[in-house]
Amino acid sequence: MPRYKCPKGTKKCITGKCVKKTSVKTARCKKGTRKCANNRCYLTNYKKNAAAKKIQKTYRNYIDTKLKKKPLEEQVEHFNKIQDKFFFKLIGNKINITTNDIQSDRCAIINIESPTRIYLDMLYKCGGNSGTQVIKLIEKFAKKYGYKTIELEDDSRIYSEKTKFRRKKGGHCMIWLPILQILSSGTTWYNKLGYKSPYYNKEVKHNEAIINKPFIKFMKDVVGNTLVQDTRAPSLENLIEGMYLFVNKDESSISVKDLFTKVNRKLKNEELICDGKHPELDWYIDIENFLVNTGALVNNISKVKPNNIMYLRGSEITQYKQIE
């Protein structure tokens, strides 16, 4: 951190103040005190006093103000100096964040939209660091240099390695995390970290009503609102029957929330391998595709219906967090 320089003719004292130098000699200081440039004695534990804390706070505010006025290049250079776990590389108005080691794993890409706004473009787990740790790092950067908001589009996904998943030539299979999280809890991972859309309260209230329905009723309601159905997709009966991969036959009245809490817990503890030998995973991917293809997920606030899941996302509806 840059050091505050005292004006010419003064020197910083143990009190934190800049005092005028004097050549007047005074008696030796008593034990537990220390002499400053003004030849006065001050307690060595002065920093514990309220007056000293106030001085230190003023000094920190002064430094923070200087940091916030730094050009972006200097902010990045300074942040790399005060922490050694990650490396920030500036490319135009983008910052590429990687681990500061031999592997140099990618952790995130952020766009500096303005002196007060950061847009989180991409977020990854990296080098043993969780997504939460990486986003906390970005928030630390934002706070230090005066950015007021961080915005993002919640489009988190988990992909498998290349496997032969319903294709002879192989391909990827994918779980759309916000959908699974809304079905199991009514909110997303980013919501829990404080990132919310302007319609957050309306979203939560609406989705809570949906996920507290019995799963079978929810599925039938979705089909009832669908004008065109994909004949290539699994039938409604097969999709409903698949719930018994996670629950017993006597739990037929289980709610959407309780069912997908079990689904979420099971899928979290398993590697994402789409090889046709993991029926629970295949069933969940079928359910997700069913909800997307039937229009049960709505990302436009003006098109929400009573039986839709609200998953608002896109460039016009971002999730954002105020940084204080």
Which class is domain 72-152? alpha beta
Say what the pLDDT of residue 291 is.
87
Assess whether pLDDT exceeds 90 at residue 120.
yes
pLDDT tens column, 266-294: 887 777 777 777 888 889 988 998 888 88
Query: Can you read off the two tokens belonging to residue 310?
Result: 């609200």
CB atoms within 10 A of CB 263: 22
* pLDDT given at position 64: 57
Q: How far apart are CA 130 and CA 311, in angstroms?
A: 24
Find the range with the poorest average confidence among 39-48, 117-126, 142-151: 39-48
**DSSP-assigned letter for residue 70:** S
* 3 state DSSP class of 19: strand
Other beta carbons within 10 Å of 308: 20
- The interaxial angle of helices 256-268 and 177-185, nearest 10 deg, is 130
Rg, the chain, Cα only: 28
What pLDDT is recorded for position 170?
A: 44
Share of the chain above pLDDT 70, in %: 83
Alpha carbon separation from 104 to 87, 121, 123, 177 (Å, rounded): 8, 19, 15, 26
Each domain of the chain, given as residue ranges in start order, spans: 10-68, 72-152, 157-314
CA pair distance 251, 243, nearest whole angstrom: 10
The stretch 115-134 carries a mean pLDDT of 92
What is the tens place of the pLDDT at every residue in 57-110?
Answer: 555 555 556 666 678 999 999 999 999 999 999 999 999 999 998 888 999 999
The residue ranking higher by pLDDT, 323 or 159, is 323
pLDDT tens digits, residue range 179-222? 999 999 999 999 999 999 988 999 999 999 999 999 999 998 88
The more confident residue out of 106 and 298 is 106
**What b/e sequence results for 75-111 when a residue is b if at least 16 CB atoms lie within 10 Å of its CB, and e otherwise?**
bbebbeeeeeebbbeeeeeebbbbbeeeeeeebbbbe
Please tell me the predicted confidence (pLDDT) of residue 1: 36
Contacts of 234 (CB under 8 A, 6+ apart): 242, 286, 290
